Amino acid sequence: MPSNIPFAKQLLSWFDQHGRNHLPWQKDRSGYRVWVSEIMLQQTQVATVIPYFERFMLRFPRVENLAQADLDEVLSLWTGLGYYSRARNLHASAIAIAEQHQGVMPNNLEALIALKGIGRSTAGAIISQAFNQPGVILDGNVKRLLTRLHHIQGWPGLSHIDKQLWQLATNLTPQQRNADYSQAIMDLGATVCKPKQPLCVACPMQTHCQALDNDAVAQIPTPKPKKALPQKTVSVLLLKNAQGQIQLQQRPAKGIWGGLWSLPEFADLAALQAQLALDGLPINTQPLPAIKHVFSHYKLTIEPHLLELQKQPRKVAENEQSRWYDATQLHTIGLATPIKKLLENNQ
Ligand code: SF4
């Protein structure tokens, strides 16, 4: 690619005809709205994000509303989107913006990446999309597009390739129409230079695409070297009291499903029964079908065991981390998705 002018110009003229310009976060653009959308869009498709974004904005229209909210409520609006550390970081950063920036979203790279959960590419997206300044973005869509355009071989997660991609992305970023440019390069990656079956015939870059020239589009980007995910199994207790309420426990803030409500968890059935015996409860639980869930770094099998009590237990007390919930209250708290499904199937 000889210089950034033809690239940006060509990309923008494609964007003027084919780009996405009716996304909810493109209306009433602000640093806050762009930030929330960018965080939701990490690892998640636009179509999935739209209803979550709209509900979130209805409840937290401004950064101070989010800063003042309970984390539990933030997590409940995030239930189903996954990667819950994103919601915790969003909440923590809203508090930091309220306290350190008088509730105003920062508009420079340094201040943005000092906030929890905002990396270099997200900061670039906020700078370009919300403030129309030359912010450089390099999300997954842009990485794929650039590796193909330049026929870059090797997994893009490797540091020397990452560095090369940042350099390319920086060189290509124009000085004008920055909001449109960053949307355009993400759109071209997401809708034309797709992971599978890219639409090369409709691509405005086809005449300078080196992967296409080398008949190597299907091999680029080089996939991450695979390693088998470890497998973990846990047992959970679905304990119902005489009123049909369910005992839930809040998970520690750090780790998988941090801060969400879940069922009491045990290493195995023997540990679960030992706890029941200790609490003076019957140990004749009924096994329910196992649930499989895949995280990025391991596979989890959850073995649920149901125990329905005929009379109110004496020992299972309520406290900050352990409560009885009615089925009607479940939508008001943040629940891990597999647990939410399990509860819906066993009401
Ligand atoms: Fe991607 Fe094909 Fe366009 Fe190359 S020509 S950038 S592979 S869509």
Task: Give the domain CATH number at 267.
Answer: 3.90.79.10
- To the nearest 10 degrees (0 to 180), the angle between helices 140-149 and 178-187 is 80
Residues 186 and 174: their CA atoms lie apart, in Å, by 15
Copy the structure tokens of residue 57: 């904005």
Which of 147, 186, 205, 207 has most ligand 1 atoms within 8 Å of its beta carbon, as the pocket-test mutant?
A: 205
DSSP letter for 306, please: E
The pLDDT assigned to 320 comes to 67
What separation in Å is there between the alpha carbon of 198 and the centre of ligand 1? Answer: 7
- Residue 278 in domain: yes
- To the nearest 10 degrees (0 to 180), the angle between helices 85-100 and 31-41 is 160
**144 and 40 together in one domain:** yes
Residue 234: its H or E element:
strand 231-240
Domain-terminating residue out of 185, 219, 253: 219
**171 and 33 together in one domain:** yes
Copy the structure tokens of residue 310: 């005929």
Query: Over the stretch 256-280, which tens digit does the pLDDT of each residue have?
Result: 888 899 999 999 999 999 999 988 8
**291 and 319 together in one domain:** yes
Cα→Cα distances 35→53, 78, 126, 208, 228, Å: 11, 15, 6, 33, 34
How many helices (H) and strands (E) would you count in the chain?
A: 14, 8
- Residue 81 in domain: yes
**40 and 181 together in one domain:** yes
Q: Which atom of ligand 1 is nearest to the CA of 220?
A: 7
**112 and 258 together in one domain:** no
Backbone angles phi, psi at 42, to 5 degrees: -65, 125
Q: Model pTM?
A: 0.74
**116 and 204 together in one domain:** yes
For the chain, which residues score pLDDT lower than 70?
1-5, 312-320
**208 and 91 together in one domain:** yes
- Residue 225 in domain: no
Q: H-type helices in 198-346, by residue range?
A: 210-213, 269-278, 337-345
Which of 208, 217, 219 has most ligand 1 atoms within 8 Å of its beta carbon, as the pocket-test mutant?
A: 217
The pLDDT assigned to 3 comes to 44
- Residue 213 in domain: yes
Residue 168: its H or E element:
helix 159-172
Q: How far is CA 29 from the centre of its chain?
A: 21
Q: Which atom of ligand 1 is nearest to the CA of 198?
A: 8
What separation in Å is there between the alpha carbon of 203 and the centre of ligand 1? Answer: 6
**213 and 135 together in one domain:** yes
The pLDDT assigned to 331 comes to 81
| Residue 320 domain boundaries | 231-345
Q: Which CATH number goes with the domain that contains 17?
A: 1.10.340.30
What separation in Å is there between the alpha carbon of 187 and the centre of ligand 1? Answer: 13
Task: Clarify whether 54 is annotated catalytic.
Answer: no
Cα→Cα distances 13→130, 192, 204, Å: 21, 15, 9
Domain-terminating residue out of 192, 219, 246: 219
Look-up of token digits 């709209």: 54
Domain-terminating residue out of 194, 219, 244: 219
**199 and 255 together in one domain:** no
Q: Which atom of ligand 1 is nearest to the CA of 204?
A: 3
**284 and 142 together in one domain:** no
The pLDDT assigned to 50 comes to 96
**181 and 41 together in one domain:** yes
What separation in Å is there between the alpha carbon of 186 and the centre of ligand 1? Answer: 13
Q: How many domains does the chain have?
A: 2
Pocket of ligand 1 (CB under 6 A): 145, 148-149, 192-193, 198-200, 203, 205-206, 209, 211-212, 217
What separation in Å is there between the alpha carbon of 21 and the centre of ligand 1? Answer: 22
The pLDDT assigned to 326 comes to 87
The pLDDT assigned to 43 comes to 83
- Residue 226 in domain: no
> Residue 268: how many CB atoms within 10 A of its CB?
12
**237 and 192 together in one domain:** no
Q: How far is CA 180 from the centre of its chain?
A: 24
Copy the structure tokens of residue 308: 């329905």
- The 3-state DSSP composition of the chain as helix, strand, coil percent (nearest 5) reads 50, 10, 40
Residues 334 and 8: their CA atoms lie apart, in Å, by 43
- Residue 66 in domain: yes
Query: Over the stretch 138-191, which tens digit does the pLDDT of each residue have?
Result: 999 999 999 999 999 999 999 999 999 999 999 999 999 999 999 999 999 999
The pLDDT assigned to 256 comes to 85
